[in-house]
A and B are shown apart, each in its own frame.
Chain A
Amino acid sequence: MRFLRLVWGNLMRRKLRTSLTLLSVCVAFLLFGLLCIINEAFSAGVTMAGADRLIVRHKVSLIMSLPITYGARMQRIPGVDATTHWTWFNGIYQDDPRNFFGTFPVEPESFLAMHREYLLPPAEREAWLKTRTGAIVGRTLADRFGWKVGDRIPLMSPIWPRKGDGAWEFDIVGIYDGDKKSTDTSGFFFRYDYFDESRAEGQGLVGWYVVRVKDPDRAAEVAAAIDAEFANSPYETKAEPEGAFAQSFVEQIGSIGTILLAILSAVFFTILLVAGNTMAQAVRERTAELGVLKAVGFTNERVLGLVLVESCLLAAAGGLSGLAIAWLLTLGGSPIPAVFPVFYLPTRYLLIGVGLVLGLGILAGLLPALAAMRLRVAVALRRHA
Chain B
Amino acid sequence: MSNSGEGGPGANGILVRVDGVDRTFHRGAEEIHVLDGLDLEVPQGEFLALMGPSGSGKTTLLNLIGGLDRPTRGSVAIGGDRLESMSARRLAAWRARHVGLVFQFYNLLPVLSAARNVELPLLLTHMSGAERRRHVAVALEVVGLSHRANHYPRTLSGGEQQRVGIARAIVSDPTLLLCDEPTGDLDRKAGDEILDLLQALNAQHGKTIIMVTHDPHASARATRTVHLDKGQLSMEAPA
Enumerate chain A interface residues (CB-CB to B < 8 A). Answer: 2-3, 5-6, 9-10, 12-13, 288-289, 291-302, 376-378, 381-382, 384-385
Contacts and interface: CB of A to CB of B under 8 A. Distances in A.
A302 B168 CA distance: 19
B104 interface: yes
A130 B204 CA distance: 103
B101 A385 contact: no
B220 interface: no
B68 interface: yes
Contacts, number: 76
A297 B121 contact: yes
Contacts of B104: 385
A218 to B, nearest CB: 64
Contacts of B86: none
Nearest to A2: B123
Chief secondary structure at chain A's binding surface: helix
B101 A296 contact: yes
4 closest pairs, A vs B, by CB?
A: A297-B96, A9-B111, A378-B69, A377-B68
A2 B130 CA distance: 12
B124 A297 contact: yes
Contacts of A298: 92, 124
A63 to B, nearest CB: 68
B97 interface: yes
B105 A384 contact: yes
Contact of B95 (A289, A296, A381): A296
24 contacts: A3-B123, A5-B112, A6-B112, A6-B123, A9-B109, A12-B111, A13-B110, A13-B111, A292-B103, A292-B107, A294-B68, A295-B101, A296-B95, A296-B101, A296-B121, A297-B93, A301-B89, A376-B69, A377-B69, A378-B60, A378-B68, A381-B107, A384-B105, A384-B107
Contacts of B207: none
A167 B233 CA distance: 109
A382 B63 CA distance: 10
Nearest to A382: B59
A6 B101 CA distance: 20
Contacts of B66: 295
B88 interface: yes
B14 interface: no
A160 to B, nearest CB: 72
Contact of B89 (A9, A295, A299, A376): A299
Contacts of B97: 297
Contacts of A292: 103, 107, 109
Contacts of A381: 63, 68, 103, 107
Interface string B52-86: 00000001100100101100000000000000000
B97 to A, nearest CB: 7
Nearest to A299: B92
A289 B116 contact: no
Interface of B: 59-60, 63, 66, 68-69, 88-89, 92-93, 95-97, 101, 103-105, 107, 109-112, 116, 120-121, 123-124, 129, 168
B68 A296 contact: no
Nearest to B96: A297
A378 B63 contact: yes
A6 B121 CA distance: 12
Given A6-B123, A297-B121, A381-B103, 13 more contacts: A6-B112, A6-B120, A10-B111, A13-B111, A291-B107, A292-B107, A294-B68, A296-B120, A378-B60, A378-B63, A384-B105, A384-B107, A385-B59
A378 B35 CA distance: 15
A129 B65 CA distance: 95
A302 B123 CA distance: 11
A381 B178 CA distance: 14
B3 to A, nearest CB: 17
A333 B121 CA distance: 53
A382 B121 CA distance: 21
Contact of A297 (B59, B92, B129): B92
A142 to B, nearest CB: 56
Contacts of B123: 2-3, 6
Contacts of A9: 109, 111-112
B133 to A, nearest CB: 12
Nearest to B117: A292
Contacts of B60: 378
A5 B129 CA distance: 13
A291 B105 CA distance: 13
A297 B109 contact: no
A221 B170 CA distance: 83
Contacts of B93: 297, 299
Contacts of B68: 294-295, 377-378, 381
A377 B83 CA distance: 15
B109 A300 contact: no
Contacts of B107: 288-289, 291-292, 381, 384
